[in-house]
Amino acid sequence: MKNFINIDRLGKFILMECRLFWRTYLRLMTAIFALAAIGIFFVFTFGVEGYTTGLLILWCLIFSIIFAPFILYRFVYHPTKSLTYTMLPATSLEKTISAWLQCVVIVPALLIATTVLSLLLKDLFGGADSLRVILSRNYWNIEYISHVHIILQLFAIQSLAFWGVFWFKSRKITKTFLYLALICVGIVVVATLIMNTLNYFNVPKITLSDTMLQALDYLRYLILPILPWTLAFLKFPRTQI
């Protein structure tokens, strides 16, 4: 099959994967709801406010989004488990696009909605605030999960997991962390050499305004995921089994 995109076939493949992964969606969402239930239980049983539970819910959200590629697609390249996936009537490009949508759009959207609802329920049934006060809160504000900078960081980190799950055939998590550690060491060494060279030749430092630094920071997290995603898209067509 030629490696091109057919919108109708891609849509059907995405729906097929949604049906395939619905149990995984449910398990991830249940974990978040379970943490909210634990917080409510502690309030009713011991009279302890569940502030820590709210943090646990957010950390559960963060780790679920970061490791979503490994959770959903750890079977890719497996000598037996990936055979059915490889034979499905879709091009490799359509499969990687569907995987990208699952990891970057569908799963995060479901988990973020679950988290917002869990935080609301925890405060409603496990706190001392009135219903009017609770419903007046903005569960999408910086206190919870909608800070743009944090979201960009989260998907930048997840893109590395997406790269690892489609780049390595086995021991995906271990090899991803190992290679990333080696890359980080290399970056530190190169950056140190560059800084020492600039200091040796007395190259003047460039000063930027706070606005410019903030813009560059956002730009960095927008650009950073592009390389891992691209490497995954290029690798999968050449290594499906």
Specify whether the CB–CB gap between 7 and 241 falls below 8 A. no
**208 has a pLDDT exceeding 60:** no
Specify whether the CB–CB gap between 131 and 124 falls below 8 A. yes
pLDDT class of 21 with cuts at 50, 70, 90: very high
Specify whether the CB–CB gap between 69 and 164 falls below 8 A. yes
Q: Which residue has better confidence, 57 or 157?
A: 157
pLDDT tens column, 126-167: 554 544 455 555 554 544 444 566 777 888 899 999 999 999
**Closest residue by Cα to residue 225 from 95, 70, 100:** 100
Residue 159: what pLDDT?
92
pTM: 0.78
- Amino acid letter at 237? P
Specify whether the CB–CB gap between 74 and 156 falls below 8 A. no
50-67 as b/e, with b when 16 or more CB fall inside 10 Å? beebbeebbebbbebbbb
The 8-class DSSP code of residue 206 comes to P
* Distance set, CA 220 to CA 135, 148, 229, 232 (Å): 36, 13, 15, 20
The average pLDDT across 198-207 equals: 58
Residue given tokens 């997290």 in the structure block: 221
**211 has a pLDDT exceeding 70:** no
**241 has a pLDDT exceeding 70:** no
Residue 48: what pLDDT?
59
Domain ranges of the chain: 7-238
Specify whether the CB–CB gap between 147 and 218 falls below 8 A. no
